[in-house]
């Protein structure tokens, strides 16, 4: 459980930045080079590489170097961590709102 929590924390920290979310959004369309990705953001390449390293460390992307070109690929399995967590939260909150609705309805219609 602790490892799952740490992995989830890493993913949410990586997704907290709008630049990194933009990179994830773009990689959802398919793999691309770091250079192509960097052109879409108003910053220097060294600053952009910090974002790439954060995403890679969180496991959200993988990179591979071929010659002078580093290509980034989205790791969709890692995004599944977020989807699983959101499904758990949705289930918890649905249960709570259902209980609240039952309570309110019972108060309105006393037997």
Which range of residues forms the domain containing residue 21?
2-108
| Structural domain total, the chain | 1
Residue 71 β-bridge partners = 33, 64
The CATH number assigned to the domain holding 43 equals: 1.10.10.10
Give residue 110's pLDDT: 63
Which are the contacts of 31, defined by CB distance < 8 A and separation ≥ 6?
A: 71, 72, 73, 74
Instruction: Say yes or no to pLDDT of 36 above 90.
Output: yes
Instruction: Say yes or no to pLDDT of 34 above 90.
Output: yes
Instruction: Tell me the pLDDT tens digit for each residue of 40-64.
Output: 999 999 999 999 999 999 999 999 9
């Amino acid at each position: 459980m602790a490892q799952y929590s740490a992995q989830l924390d890493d993913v949410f920290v990586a997704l907290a930045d709008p630049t990194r979310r933009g990179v994830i959004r773009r990689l959802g369309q398919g793999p691309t080079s770091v250079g192509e990705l960097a052109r879409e953001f108003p910053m220097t390449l060294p600053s952009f590489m910090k974002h790439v390293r954060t995403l890679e460390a969180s496991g959200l992307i993988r990179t591979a170097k071929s010659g002078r070109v580093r290509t980034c690929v989205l790791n969709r399995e890692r995004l599944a961590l977020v989807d699983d967590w959101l499904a758990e939260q949705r289930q918890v909150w649905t249960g709570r709102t259902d209980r609240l609705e039952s309570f309110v309805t019972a108060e309105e219609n006393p037997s």
